[in-house]
Amino acid sequence: MSSILVTGGAGYIGSHVAHELVDDGRQVVILDNLSTGVRENMPDEATFVHGDVGDYELVVRLLAEHDVAAVMHFAGNIVVPESVENPLKYYRNNTAATRELLSACVATGVGQFVFSSTAAVYGMPSAEELPVTEETPTAPINPYGASKLMTEWMLRDVDHAHDFRYVALRYFNVAGADPKGRTGQSTPQATHLIKVCSQTALGMRDELSIFGTDYETRDGTCIRDYIHVTDLARVHILALEALERGEESRVLNCGYGHGYTVREVIDAVKRVSEVDFDVVEAPRRAGDPPELIADSTKLREQFGWQPAHDDLDEIVRTALEWEEQT
Ligand SMILES: NC(=O)c1ccc[n+]([C@@H]2O[C@H](COP(=O)([O-])OP(=O)(O)OC[C@H]3O[C@@H](n4cnc5c(N)ncnc54)[C@H](O)[C@@H]3O)[C@@H](O)[C@H]2O)c1
Ligand SMILES: O=c1ccn([C@@H]2O[C@H](COP(=O)(O)OP(=O)(O)O[C@H]3O[C@H](CO)[C@@H](O)[C@H](O)[C@H]3O)[C@@H](O)[C@H]2O)c(=O)[nH]1
């Protein structure tokens, strides 16, 4: 039986997809350098290889030894402010390392690839551009977004030149945890709002800062399209199946198409946790667009995707449950 290579499978989203693939009866090989990933979050059934996606020789060997038919590429660095301070880390680990991985795929004839892209490729869309479609101009405003957009360009060009097809998934704000409690967001210094709120509700942080209360939104705070990680994991299975059917390459937004303000998220975490934690109003965080909402029509129409967890309280509940058990 051929296998699926999941890079970054010890990380937050990759581990959810790895569990989903195993549930689906797939043979899974995980390549992860454990820089932010957690060993325990991977499914026991997967083969784990401790290594780097930028290690061309290792990846070539791995693709051949495990008869890899498709790659799902999650590995990378994801902290936007860090990318501003240390851009070359992001161009190396996101862009250059992916170049090596793609090179290994071309050398071994692995022609199916699912890539974790991001809404950060859109930068600061104007109010008229919302919700953003895949045709909204890409204009990243930080090295993180640029490093991912450059990878999308590599994928496009490799598709043109070789027997290679891909699905690039532009995730919006991923949140929540596996409802079965097998994995969740484990990065200790995570900056994501729902993770930070959950930790504050559970007394692991003293207070929560709202970054900016003077945006032109319904309550002055930023609006984001939060997608439950389990719904996102399902998209990856659908993408893989499309590639297996021989369908063409594509880029797809992954979000629900509606959003919540920071204050609405805080209210949900207080409601679900029944803890009235301290909140302070802080200045705007550099580089935050006021509103980011996905137009996910293509995803729904092309893959028949139907979210099963489109509910803020459920997202928050699973995030809290994960935080409590770790
Ligand atoms: N979390 C989000 O909201 C979000 C939003 C948009 C896009 N994404 C993208 O999704 C992907 C996964 O993000 P995540 O939230 O699961 O992050 P994460 O940090 O939890 O997972 C990344 C994983 O990749 C591994 N890794 C990093 N560099 C590696 C390398 N060179 N070789 C091998 N392994 C390496 C890490 O150890 C970790 O296990 C990333 O590519 C990210 O850009 C995430
Ligand atoms: O302690 C906090 C943390 C966040 N926020 C705000 O909450 C919103 C969401 O922030 P965050 O959870 O950090 O997500 P984003 O900055 O929107 O970025 C996420 O979503 C992007 C896609 O939209 C991904 O590319 C990034 O990797 C991922 O971090 C923003 O308005 C933040 O200013 C706060 O007010 N206080």
The rounded distance, in Å, linking the Cα atoms of 47 and 66 is 10
Q: What is the pLDDT of residue 215?
A: 97
What is the distance in angstroms between the CA of the first residue and the CA of the last residue of the chain?
A: 35
Contact 109, 243 (CB under 8 A): no
Among the listed residues 213, 317, 298, the one whose alpha carbon sits nearest the alpha carbon of residue 247: 298
54-80 pLDDT, tens digit each: 999 999 999 999 999 999 999 999 999
Q: What is the pLDDT of residue 188?
A: 78
> Residues 206-224, buried b or exposed e (16+ Cβ, 10 A)?
eebbbbbbebebeebbbbb
Residue nearest to atom 35 of ligand 1 (CA): 75
Tell which atom from ligand 2 comes closest to the C-alpha of 171: 22
How many alpha carbons fall within 13 Å on the CB side of residue 251?
Answer: 22
**Which ligand approaches the C-alpha of residue 49 most closely?**
1
Tokens 């990933």 belong to residue: 37
Q: What is the pLDDT of residue 190?
A: 85
| Residue 144 annotated in active site | yes
Q: Kindly state if the Cβ of 118 falls inside 6 Å of ligand 2.
A: yes
Among the listed residues 253, 268, 267, the one whose alpha carbon sits nearest the alpha carbon of residue 316: 268
Q: What tokens appear for 186 in the block?
A: 């484990």
Q: Which helix (H) or strand (E) holds 223?
A: strand 223-224
Q: What tokens appear for 93 in the block?
A: 């680990």
Cα 86 to averaged position of ligand 2 atoms, centre (Å): 19
How many alpha carbons fall within 13 Å on the CB side of residue 167?
Answer: 27
Rounded to 10°, the helix 312-325/193-201 angle is: 60
Cα 207 to averaged position of ligand 2 atoms, centre (Å): 17
Cα 192 to averaged position of ligand 2 atoms, centre (Å): 5
DSSP letter string, 260-274 = EEHHHHHHHHHHHHT
Classified as helix, coil or strand, 82 is helix
Q: What is the pLDDT of residue 157?
A: 98
Dmax (CA) for the chain in angstroms is 56
Q: Kindly state if the Cβ of 226 falls inside 6 Å of ligand 2.
A: no
E-strand ranges in 33-67 read 47-50
Residues with C-beta less than 6 Å from any ligand 1 atom: 7-8, 10-14, 31-37, 52-54, 74-76, 78, 93, 97, 116, 118, 171, 173-174, 187
Amino acid 159 reads: D
The rounded distance, in Å, linking the Cα atoms of 73 and 95 is 12
pLDDT tens sequence for the chain (326 residues)? 899 999 999 999 999 999 999 999 999 999 999 999 999 999 999 999 999 999 999 999 999 999 999 999 999 999 998 999 999 999 999 999 999 999 999 999 999 999 999 999 999 999 999 999 999 999 999 999 999 999 999 999 999 999 999 999 999 999 999 999 999 999 878 889 999 999 999 999 999 999 999 999 999 999 999 999 999 999 999 999 999 999 999 999 999 999 999 999 999 999 999 999 999 999 999 889 999 999 999 999 999 999 999 999 999 999 999 999 98
Q: What is the pLDDT of residue 271?
A: 98
Rounded to 10°, the helix 56-65/97-108 angle is: 40
Classified as helix, coil or strand, 45 is coil
How many alpha carbons fall within 13 Å on the CB side of residue 139?
Answer: 11
Contact 317, 324 (CB under 8 A): no
Q: What is the pLDDT of residue 136?
A: 98
186-196 pLDDT, tens digit each: 987 888 999 99
Among the listed residues 231, 241, 245, 244, the one whose alpha carbon sits nearest the alpha carbon of residue 16: 231
Q: What tokens appear for 248 in the block?
A: 């063409």
Contact 132, 297 (CB under 8 A): no
Look up the CATH number of domain 193-224+257-293+308-325. Answer: 3.90.25.10
| Catalytic residue (choose from 90, 122, 144, 166) | 144
Question: How many Cβ atoms from other residues are within 10 Å of residue 197's Cβ?
Answer: 28
Pairing of strands 3-7, 68-73: parallel
The rounded distance, in Å, linking the Cα atoms of 272 and 266 is 10
Q: Domain limits of the chain?
A: 3-175+226-254, 193-224+257-293+308-325
Q: Is the dihedral of CA 90, 177, 296, 197 positive or negative?
A: negative
CATH architecture of 3-175+226-254: 3-Layer(aba) Sandwich (3.40)
